Amino acid sequence: MQQEFPALPMLHLPGYEIEYATSGWGLAVKIVAQIPKLLDAIKEEQVWLQKVVAEQRIDAVISDNRYGLFHPQVRSVFMTHQLCIKIPLKLAEDLLQETVYQHINQFHECWVPDVEGEPNLAGDLSHPQNLPSIPIFYTGPLSRFKEETTVPGEDYLLVLLSGPEPQRSLLEQRILEDLKDYTDPVILVRGLPGLEEEMTVAKNVNVFHHLPAAELEAVVRKASMVISRSGYSTVMDLAALQKRSILIPTPGQTEQEYLARHLMKQNLAFCVEQSKFRLKPVLTMAHQFFYQPFAVAQEGDLQATIRRFLLSLPTETIPS
């Protein structure tokens, strides 16, 4: 974040440090076991925000999935595409949603980065049967990439790795093994910022540990096919650029697994489980897949949401 916005002041806030499992059931058990730790983290970030608001004279707060970053005297927005958190057991899922809503309802409003109707990118995650009691605003999908005049795809495969270990490395090992028999051009972005030593794979494979946003956009825009995780930020970026993609959900991350199924049903992406991924047969199936580009919403939804939000602030805090 600091690389992209070097002029902005940054305040450090520790993450939730959620531990993931390798299966959906394992994740459900791990999530339940981590609830006390998560509740403690939410209390700590609430104390942190009280101090920051007092010291920094904050006028408004937009919280990206941080449940404790609300303030009774400062206009507070909760931003999420996961109003429904998918876990294998329906009763536990309902109880978890009720607990989540208790926290969300302490904010003044909620922004959901998806379209309000259908088709949409996040399915039940952003469109559950029951919504929080605070006002909900659908902003449309958000991406750092902007749709422009279509750029002809170059003849290379782009592989974007990301996510928690050990699954990031396990997928990388599988792909590197398959690349030994693949002769077409490949760009591999490992998702490891800060790493400096060179990595050589083969003459047809160009490896980057990390790419800044502008350079990443350039390689995504020109790729003929993108292989990546089915994380929602990546999904929104690929939708913005109308890219054909092969999505591999991180094992045990039920959100990504649900997104993959949802996107595959709508023909927005070709999706495959990590355990079943083999590069050549998957590429063959993906090239035969009937892709249906997502109709990217106009920026007006987000701009209208921001304008309305600014007008809801006390007059002295609105920038002239």
CA terminus-to-terminus distance, the chain? 27
Domain range holding 101?
24-141+299-317
Per the structure, the count of domains in the chain is: 2
pLDDT value at residue 294: 87
Tell me: do 282 and 171 sit in the same domain.
Answer: yes
pLDDT value at residue 316: 59
Tell me: do 313 and 208 sit in the same domain.
Answer: no
| Alpha-carbon span 65 to 110, nearest angstrom | 10
Tell me: do 192 and 166 sit in the same domain.
Answer: yes
Rounded to 5°, the CA angle 313-318-320 comes to 160
Residue 111 lies in a domain: yes
| Alpha-carbon span 164 to 173, nearest angstrom | 15
Tell me: do 126 and 163 sit in the same domain.
Answer: no
Tell me: do 170 and 132 sit in the same domain.
Answer: no
Max Cα-Cα span within the chain:
64
Per-residue pLDDT tens over the stretch 199-221: 888 899 999 999 988 899 999 99
Q: At a CB cut-off of 8 Å and minimum separation 6, what does 131 contact?
A: 83
Per-residue pLDDT tens over the stretch 78-123: 999 999 888 766 666 777 788 889 999 999 999 999 999 888 999 9
pLDDT value at residue 232: 96
Q: Which residues of the chain have pLDDT under 70?
A: 1, 16, 18-32, 88-92, 147-154, 296-300, 315-320
Tell me: do 272 and 311 sit in the same domain.
Answer: no
| Alpha-carbon span 99 to 93, nearest angstrom | 10
Residue 162 lies in a domain: yes
pLDDT value at residue 246: 98
pLDDT value at residue 153: 56
CATH number at residue 218: 3.40.50.2000
